[in-house]
């Protein structure tokens, strides 16, 4: 057997089971009941909820079904389609390019495009990156968009989609349907295709496929290991099925995507969303990584067009949430697609972020109100940001085996250890577990993902994710 020694200190882990009251750092039966009541009223089959405060997760809980037909519950590892919350990630990517000087937010996007894009009747007026990020570009969502869907992923590329829609020679170009009769920068009109164009510009300017750019520059620095732009990034069983409620029954939609994907096709789980929210609340920093500097974060969370739309920042917008005692102006974004309703908001003054992801078509803001209200009453434990698997810790090598994994309770190891340390998402030790005859008994623990830690004979710290199902 391999020589190993137990780790007697704990390491925080950024993925942990939900739908388990004992694992939530601050469980509340009252809040559970409210959320479940809202799900019933709004016909939401499954939901996952989050509160982060002062750089850590202080609430994480999931409810209902990710897949009704197969009786699969929602857990913290369940991946949801984010819908238009995706736009703040696209805006983050564009802002990174501005921060490095690769672009200027107020310059003409045609300086970078392989074909000219202009508003019919206003061709001499520049469309800028800022226009795309504030829905003032005068780009409409035309009927051609319905042809960009694929099941489960689109069959044409982002570049092909953009060329077809915006190039005057494109097969989907329409001067009347794809654009409004206004000069860019003069009116507000929410535009999905403008956000898709923004994502394409990230691709053109960086020289990297947009999805891969996000992987390298946003998801990896934030340890968002369960986040991706396409269904092909996931095991289908990990993704919540979208539902509509018709005639008293839930009817599933097939998993879908669209070629204009930077505007709404991102999928993620709630623990990854926690890392993203924490980074924005910490002025762009997460553990030892940074996705934006504080000036860039401040600009994104500044009203950009108060004379046109008095809630709009750069991709983010303000939303009023209501607690028991006050009205709080938050920054955030919601999302809605077929079988999907999502919300994500930040109260910067109190260093709180909240999120609700669902696979139904209901209204989530009352849940958001209650999450913020509860978050205001909580105190962070002081454990700091969720720790990435790779931070200062070596991964288990194949020679250190733990099996079966997933397990229904008993795992076997070939590592000569007397005990392991079991750790929660909040960075707390659950307990030290003794290893008997190479076996570790996890049968008393609820279903979910755990981290076990130990050190080998060379003093190297190892960790291993264990799934109890």
Task: Pick 160 or 466 by higher pLDDT.
Answer: 160
Residue range 15-72, pLDDT digits in tens:
322 333 337 999 999 999 999 999 999 999 999 999 999 999 999 999 999 999 999 9
Superfamily of domain 87-209: DD-peptidase/beta-lactamase superfamily (3.40.710.10)
How many whole angstroms separate alpha carbon 404 and alpha carbon 168? Answer: 58
For residue 83, CA distances in Å to 101, 166, 224, 225, 335 come to: 29, 23, 17, 19, 5
* 276-315 pLDDT per residue, tens: 999 999 999 999 999 999 999 999 999 999 999 999 999 9
Helix axes 192-206, 86-99, angle to 10 degrees: 40
Q: What is the mean pLDDT of residues 163-192?
A: 98
Which pTM value belongs to this model? 0.83
Q: What is the DSSP letter of 359?
A: S
- Least confident residue range of 20-24, 189-193, 263-267, 282-286: 20-24
Nearest to 401 by CA among 411, 387, 389: 411
The tokens for 308 are 């046109």
Q: Indicate whether 360 pLDDT > 80.
A: yes
> Which residues of the chain are in CATH 2.60.40 domains?
2-12+387-468
Q: How confident is the model at residue 399 (pLDDT cuts 50, 70, 90)?
A: low
Topology of the domain covering 2-12+387-468: Immunoglobulin-like (2.60.40)
Res. 12 pLDDT band, cuts 50 70 90: very low
DSSP string computed for 193-250 = HHHHHHHHHHHHHHSS-HHHHHIIIIITTTT-TT-BSSGGGS-GGGBPPPEEEETTEE
Domain boundaries for CATH 3.40.710.10 within the chain: 87-209
The share of the chain scoring above pLDDT 90, in percent, equals 77
Percent of the chain with pLDDT over 70: 90
In the block, which residue shows the tokens 């968002």? 224
Asked if residue 100 has pLDDT above 90, the reply is: yes
Do the strands 243-246 and 267-268 form a parallel or antiparallel pair, or are they unpaired?
A: unpaired
Using CA atoms, how far apart are residues 370 and 380, in angstroms rounded to an integer?
A: 18
Q: Decide if pLDDT at 460 tops 70.
A: no
- Rounded to an integer, what distance in angstroms lies between the CA atom of residue 315 and that of residue 132? 9
> Which of 209-218, 352-361, 398-407, 443-452 has the least mean pLDDT?
398-407
13 three-state secondary structure: coil
For 236-261, what is each residue's pLDDT tens digit? Answer: 999 999 999 999 999 999 999 999 99
**Average pLDDT for the chain:** 90
- Say if residue 2's pLDDT is above 70: no
- Tell me which long-range contacts 207-212 makes (C-beta under 8 A, separation of at least 24): 210/93, 210/158, 210/262, 211/261
Least confident of 86-90, 316-320, 323-327, 410-414: 410-414
Residue 375, SS3 per DSSP: helix
Query: The tokens of 61 are what?
Result: 């809980």
Task: Residue 449: count other Cβ atoms within 10 Å of its Cβ.
Answer: 21
Q: Which pLDDT value is given to residue 138?
A: 98
- Taking only Cα atoms into account, the Rg of the chain, rounded to an integer number of angstroms, comes to 23
Q: Which two tokens stand for residue 177?
A: 């349907």
Helix 29-42 crosses helix 365-377 at what angle (to 10 degrees)? Answer: 170
Q: Please tell me the predicted confidence (pLDDT) of residue 352.
A: 98
Per-residue pLDDT at 432 exceeds 90 = no
What is the pLDDT at residue 403?
83
Residue 1 has pLDDT above 90, yes or no: no
Using alpha carbons, select from 221, 216, 272 the residue that is nearest to residue 82: 272
The span from the CA of 386 to the CA of 396, in Å, is: 19
Give the pLDDT confidence score for residue 374 in this predicted structure: 98
Identify the pLDDT of residue 459.
Answer: 64
Contacts of 113 by beta carbon, 8 Å cutoff, 6+ apart: 201, 204
Q: Are strands 461-468 and 394-395 parallel, antiparallel or unpaired?
A: parallel
pLDDT at 92 over 60: yes
> Does the pLDDT value for residue 339 go beyond 60?
yes
The residue written with tokens 């960086």 in the block is: 206
Q: How many CA atoms lie within 13 A of 317 on its CB side?
A: 20
341-352 pLDDT, tens digit each: 999 999 999 999
Q: Give mean pLDDT, residues 400-423.
A: 81
């Amino acid at each position: 057997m391999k020589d190993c020694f137990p780790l007697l200190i704990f390491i925080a882990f950024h993925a942990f089971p939900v739908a388990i009251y004992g694992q939530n750092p601050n469980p509340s039966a009252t809040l559970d009941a409210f959320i479940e009541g809202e799900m019933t009223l709004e016909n939401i089959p499954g939901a996952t909820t989050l509160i982060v405060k002062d750089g850590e997760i202080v609430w994480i809980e999931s409810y209902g079904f990710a897949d009704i037909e197969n009786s699969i519950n929602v857990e913290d590892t369940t991946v949801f389609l984010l819908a238009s919350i995706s736009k703040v990630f696209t805006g983050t990517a564009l802002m990174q390019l501005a921060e490095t000087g690769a672009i200027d937010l107020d310059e003409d996007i045609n300086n970078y495009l392989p074909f000219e894009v202009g508003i019919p009747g206003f061709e001499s007026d520049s469309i800028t990156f800022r226009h795309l990020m504030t829905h003032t570009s005068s780009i409409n969502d035309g009927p051609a968009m319905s042809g960009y869907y694929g099941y489960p992923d689109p069959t044409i590329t982002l570049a092909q989609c953009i060329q077809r829609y915006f190039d005057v020679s494109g097969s989907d170009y329409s001067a009347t349907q794809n654009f409004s009769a206004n000069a860019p920068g003069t009116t507000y009109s929410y535009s999905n295709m403008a956000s898709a164009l923004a994502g394409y510009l990230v691709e053109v300017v960086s020289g990297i496929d947009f999805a891969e750019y996000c992987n390298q520059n946003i998801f990896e620095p934030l340890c968002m290991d369960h986040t991706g732009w396409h269904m092909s990034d996931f095991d289908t069983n990990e993704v919540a099925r979208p539902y509509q409620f018709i005639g008293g029954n839930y009817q599933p939609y097939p998993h879908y995507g669209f070629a204009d994907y930077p505007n709404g096709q991102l999928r993620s789980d709630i623990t990854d969303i926690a890392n993203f929210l924490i980074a924005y609340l910490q002025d762009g920093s997460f553990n030892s990584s940074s996705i934006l500097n504080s000036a860039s974060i401040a600009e994104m969370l500044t009203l950009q067009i108060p004379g046109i739309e008095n809630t709009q920042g750069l991709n983010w917008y303000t939303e009023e949430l209501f607690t028991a005692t006050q009205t709080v102006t938050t920054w955030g974004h919601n999302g809605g697609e077929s079988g999907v309703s999502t919300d994500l908001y930040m109260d910067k003054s109190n260093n709180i972020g909240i999120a609700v992801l669902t696979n139904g078509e209901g209204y989530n803001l009352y849940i958001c109100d209650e999450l913020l209200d509860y978050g205001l009453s909580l105190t962070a434990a002081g454990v700091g940001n969720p720790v990435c698997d790779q931070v200062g810790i070596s991964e288990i090598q194949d020679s250190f085996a733990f099996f079966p994994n997933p397990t229904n309770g008993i795992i076997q190891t070939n590592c000569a250890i007397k005990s392991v340390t079991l750790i929660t998402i909040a960075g707390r030790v659950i307990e030290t577990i003794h290893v008997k005859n190479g076996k570790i008994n996890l049968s008393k623990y609820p279903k979910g993902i755990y981290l076990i830690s130990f050190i080998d004979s060379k003093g190297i710290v190892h960790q291993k994710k264990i799934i109890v199902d």
